[in-house]
Structures are given as C-alpha cells and as structure tokens.
Structure 1
Amino acid sequence: MTVLELLGHVLTGTGTALVAVAALGLIRLPDAYNRANAVAKAAALGVVCVLLGVLLLMPGVFTAVVLGLGVLLQLVTTPFAAYAVGRSAYRSGAPLARATHRDDLGGAPRDGGW
C-alpha cells in the first residue's frame, strides 16, 4: 500500500464519518434550523473528502475533471440549499429551539417578499 492509497483511504473514511455525523445531527438536534446547519456543513465537507479520497485511489485526468466538477458543485450548491431550507422552515412557522435567545427576523413578515 502506497502513501497515496493510505491517504485516499483515510480521506474516504473521514468523509464517511462526517456524513454519519451529519445524519446523527439530523436526528438529534432540536429544531429545523440546527438540523439544516449540521447537514449542510458536515455532509458537504464529508462528500468533498470522499471525492478527494477517490481521486487519490483512482488517479487520472478524467477522474480529476469529473471529481473536481463534483467538488465544485457540492461547495457551490450546498450553502444555497441550506439557506432555502432554513428560509422555508422560518416562513412555514417552524418553532425555534428553547435554547435560542434571538429571533432576528421576529418583526419581519413570514409571508411574501424577502
């Protein structure tokens, strides 16, 4: 086993663990906003780690282009998706967790407009 293969296995294992942590956060966190945040951060980083690990395990120009495009799309689309989920949860009236002390949009209307 070469150093690149070992690093590839470490990256794929780390990415898989991060996706598992995101799934655990989806189950255990108290409200929709915390869940969306956990999934957006941990799952995005996990997928990127897995893709980089696969690149080290299967090196090649075509693989680098395809996986690089996958990493780019993952990093660009995940924040927008998390924002849309959080905004939809707020506009639909999803309750905040008890530990939340601030509601910066509390005076803003929930329906219509931005």
Structure 2
Amino acid sequence: MELTGSILVLTGAFFLFSAGLGLLRMPDTFTRIQAGTKASTLGNILVLAGLGFYHPDWALKLLVVAYFVLMTNPLSSHALSRAAHAIRTPMAPSTMVDALREEGDRQGNGDVS
C-alpha cells in the first residue's frame, strides 16, 4: 500500500512539475492556461489518490477535494480563456484556427462575449 501511494504521489508531482514547466515554455496565454490546467488537474488527482493509500481513513475527505479540483480547474481555465479572448489577448503566430472569432463572424457582430 505504501509503495503504491508513493508511486502515485511521485507521478502526481511529475505532472505538477510539468504544469509549471508548461507555464514557462508555452508561447501564449491560451496554451499556458491549457498546459497549467490539464497537467495540474491530473497531478492533483494523483497526489490525492496517493494520499488515499497512505491514509485510508481520509478517503472521503480526499474524494471531496478531488471532486472540487475536477469541477473548478476546467471551469476556471475556460473562464480565463474566454476573458483573455474577449480583451483580444494576442495568440501565438502558429495558431491556425480561432474558433471563437469565427463564431462571432458567423453571428454577424464580430464581438465575442
């Protein structure tokens, strides 16, 4: 049990480290938000699962925390991305498609809110 918990915590720490590295290495705001959110969500869940193996009596509390992580991380990154797009934060030159701008153009107003 202790070995499994240690492996899960170590794997979660790796994903959390990669989230931080992604924040430093990605070219624009939108890719930084994605890298930080996806890797940190998985990293947090793995660390919580590892803690569950270390302390089985904390399982319900850890499950509640994992639920909140799974609900709030994607929602907050979505809100941040929409807000960044609304204030016209520049995208990386390698970005090929801007689906929100195309959606606004189809609606005829060109403004995404």
How does the TM-score come out when normalised to structure 2? 0.89
* Equivalent position of 1:18 in the other structure: 15
Aligned to 2:80: 85
Deviation of the 1:77 alpha carbon: 1.0
Residue 48 of structure 1 corresponds to 45
Q: Which amino acid aligns with 1:83?
A: H
Deviations 1:14-43 (A, max 9, x none): 101101100000010001110111111000
Aligned counterpart in structure 2 of residue 39 of structure 1, from 11, 15, 36:
36
User: Which residue identity does 1:98 align to in structure 2?
Assistant: P
Instruction: Tell me the equivalent position of 1:69.
Output: 64
Q: What do the CA deviations read for 1:37-74 (whole angstroms, capped 9, x no partner)?
A: 111100000000000100101111xx011100001111
Q: Per the alignment, in what secondary structure is the counterpart of residue 27 of structure 2?
A: coil
Corresponding residue to 2:99 among 86, 93, 104: 104
Count of aligned positions? 106
Structure 2: how far apart are the matches of 1:39 and 1:11? 19
Q: How far does residue 105 in structure 1 lie from its aligned partner after superposition?
A: 2.1
Give the Cα–Cα distance (whole angstroms) in 1 for the partners of residues 59 and 5 of structure 2: 14
Shift, 1:102, TM fit: 1.1
Detail structure 1 runs of 4+ shifted over 4 Å in the superposition: none
State the superposition RMSD in angstroms. 1.0
**For structure 2, which runs of at least 5 residues remain unmatched after alignment?**
none
Structure with more helix by fraction: 2
Q: Structure 1 regions of 5+ residues with no counterpart?
A: none
TM-score (normalizing by structure 1): 0.88
Identical counterparts, % of pairs: 34
**1:105 match: secondary structure:** helix
Q: Which residue of 2 aligns with 1:9?
A: 6
